[in-house]
Structure 1
Amino acid sequence: MNARPPPTSGWSVPRPEAEHVRSLLEAAGSLDRTWRPLVEGDRIIWPLLKGATAPEGTTGERIVVAQDAWAHAPPSIDPHRRMHDEMAGWLRMHHNDAASLHEALLSDLPQRWERLGDLVLLPSSAFGSSAWQERFASDEARPWACIATALKAARLGFQNVVASDTVRSSGATMLLGDHGEVEMLDHGVTFRFDATRQMFSSGNVTERHRMGDFDLRGETVVDAFSGIGYYTLPMLVRGGAEHVHACDINPEAAAWLLKGARSNGVDDRLTQHIGDNRDTLPKLKGAADRVLLGLLPSSEHAWEDAVRCLKPSGGWLHVHMNVEEERIEDWCQETLQQCLHYAMEVGR
């Protein structure tokens, strides 16, 4: 957190010119946003950073101000603004010898991140530029606590590309905090997982919520790729499914799903099948009212077994797949025909 003392000077300007001068001071890196401006009659006094100057020709004048005259400004509601301000202070504290580089470094701050409970994951590319790497090489100080403060997070990490291995490992790297375990509430459902070990896809939030919107009372569901429960838990907690059979090849993910089910009080309606679903799905033949096939980029290898899982009276398949937008209609027809072919083969 920025612990700079209050300013000893400010820039006094007539009230009608105050906003224009504020923008000039901010652009010049002279404005101390930590403190509220002062009002004295028809003049506004903007707080100045130590040693800062106003651009030549700026309306107004520098005046001496008692340090106890200033009051803290409220934090910005814009997290990007908060990060910029916190990092500007951090750079002044640790890299003031490179002041000419500060604006370029501040313009290269991450613009997006993923929030998982009290853990924020920055993109793996964040702070990867040569300019930032040169700064880090010149000083062992790191801004992770500063960024966590700006983003109101207790822990901070880097996202990593999801591995292409069978269990789709995450491997997020912690920067601040001693573990990656997460317990988070999403749309009325508690999820639990270890972000350094399991993938949690915030990108599928719409589909995750939609699966919980179905009225599944009285239904038995098979989730062929359950992971930590992206769909299993919403179907149990919000959809009211009578029972879900959750299949996954990753025993760690399955363990976290069970923890999540217990946290939501639905573990009595969950049966887990750990192992390759080419082995587990055939054991669920004829058991399901619907089957989820939530594996990307493709779950096609499990379609035939999924059809066999449906009850003799039929049911629903939810097929997820990466498809080029211009091919969606053709893909839907091709997928329907393929699944109907499997259904005819097994007498559905």
Structure 2
Amino acid sequence: MTVGQWGIRVPARQGEEMRQALLREGALDASLRVIRDGVFLILPLTGPREGAEHYEFEAHPGREVLPRHELVGGIAIMQDNDPDGAEKILTSRPSLHTVVFAEGEVHGEYRTREFRVLAGEQTTRTVVTEHGHKFTVDLAGAYFSARLSTERQRLLEQVVDGETVLDMFAGVGPFAITLAARAGMVVASDLNPKAIELMLENLGTNRVKNVLPILADARRLGEILPWKFDRIIMNLPLAGTEFLPEAVRLCMPKGTIHFYSLVSAKGEHTARIRELGGTVLSEREVRSYSPGQWHAVYDIVVK
């Protein structure tokens, strides 16, 4: 049986040292087998951390296999409505305070999702630690994806010191706060009041001063904002295509747009991007979503 879980790739010669360090932190998932990949090992983790990605691990024989779940801070999200399994997960991971079942997909203008608490505290609020930042999230109140941790670091490496950045669908602020380390200014917009409330909390927690939160419909940003931007983030996978014209209008010539979308074919949006005056620098899969569909990111330069 395989289990999807966070893992970290390390050189095999450092594997035992890293394994022991993770054990001391309570961050190693001892119920899963280590993966050997050539001269590297992939160690299973109990949650996201710097450098971690999602892998499929085999369970240790003789050890109880936990139901499939995803960890977001102190909350485990189950794929099945299994109260008994939820109790097993809760007792097996001391870092958890709640286990929930996702009753539906992300939907609506506010990008929210319904959850049922199966075990632990009656809350969907938790704190996620990511690359030195702490993000307070409310899974039922505002959009947040721990799986985009690596993607946020990839974009940070591309930001030139002093850039102006626009995050059109900022959620609780993880992209905005991450990129603020190099950007001169980040405008972080969202339509969801709860997302802005949590973003303000996260800006204070992380002592970030150069992010401007805006409660606004992304369709109206061109009417509100007096600037054009060097870099624009568009993380609205289900409906981002309709906002591409606005993003192009708001982007500086030779500026960059990072456009995230659910696709079922490579190059699905290339023709539309060219029509609007953009050139696709790269298209890559961020993660799988469902059979025949994946979460892709287009890195676009505007002519």
TM-score normalised by L of structure 1? 0.57
Q: Higher strand fraction: Structure 1 or Structure 2?
A: 2
What is the deviation of 1:295? 0.6
Residue 120 (1) aligns with residue 76 (2): yes
- 87, 95, 104: which is aligned to 1:161? 104
What is the deviation of 1:337? 1.0
Q: Check conservation: 1:222, 1:291, Cα contact below 8 A.
A: yes
Distance 2:226 2:275 in 1: 19
Q: Check conservation: 1:273, 1:280, Cα contact below 8 A.
A: no
Q: Check conservation: 1:291, 1:317, Cα contact below 8 A.
A: yes
Which amino acid is the alignment partner of residue 245 of structure 1?
V
Secondary structure of 1:232's counterpart equals: helix
Q: Check conservation: 1:222, 1:244, Cα contact below 8 A.
A: yes
Which amino acid is the alignment partner of residue 183 of structure 1?
V
Indicate how the Cα distance of structure 1 residues 316 and 295 shifts in structure 2: closer, same or farther if over 3 A, else same.
same
Residue 228 (1) aligns with residue 172 (2): yes
Secondary structure of 2:213's counterpart equals: strand
Q: Check conservation: 1:288, 1:309, Cα contact below 8 A.
A: yes
Structure 2 match to 1:199: 143
1:292-307 correspondence runs (5 A) = 292-307=233-248
Secondary structure of 1:213's counterpart equals: helix
1:48-63 correspondence runs (5 A) = none
Distance 1:298 1:155 in 2: 31
- 325, 328, 337: which is aligned to 2:266? 328
Q: Check conservation: 2:144, 2:171, Cα contact below 8 A.
A: no
Indicate how the Cα distance of structure 1 residues 112 and 208 shifts in structure 2: closer, same or farther if over 3 A, else same.
farther
Residue 180 (1) aligns with residue 147 (2): no
Q: Check conservation: 1:289, 1:315, Cα contact below 8 A.
A: yes
Distance 1:176 1:319 in 2: 37
Distance 1:285 1:328 in 2: 35
Structure 1 match to 2:57: none
- 194, 197, 205: which is aligned to 1:252? 194
Q: Higher helix fraction: Structure 1 or Structure 2?
A: 1
Q: Check conservation: 1:244, 1:270, Cα contact below 8 A.
A: yes
Structure 1 match to 2:157: 213
What is the deviation of 1:110? 5.2
Q: Check conservation: 1:216, 1:235, Cα contact below 8 A.
A: no
Distance 2:154 2:186 in 1: 17
**Gapped regions of structure 1 (runs ≥ 5):** 1-75, 82-106, 128-135, 137-141
Tell me whether 180-189 or 197-206 shows the greater mean CA deviation: 197-206
Indicate how the Cα distance of structure 1 residues 275 and 304 shifts in structure 2: closer, same or farther if over 3 A, else same.
same
Over alpha carbons, which structure has the higher Rg?
1
- 118, 139, 151: which is aligned to 2:93? 151
What is the deviation of 1:179? 2.3
What is the deviation of 1:77? 5.3
**Gapped regions of structure 2 (runs ≥ 5):** 1-27, 34-62, 280-301
Tell me whether 215-224 or 202-211 shows the greater mean CA deviation: 202-211
Which amino acid is the alignment partner of residue 340 of structure 1?
G
Q: Check conservation: 1:118, 1:155, Cα contact below 8 A.
A: yes
Distance 1:331 1:306 in 2: 15
What is the deviation of 1:315? 1.0
TM-score normalised by L of structure 2? 0.65
Structure 1 match to 2:30: 78
Indicate how the Cα distance of structure 1 residues 322 and 108 shifts in structure 2: closer, same or farther if over 3 A, else same.
farther
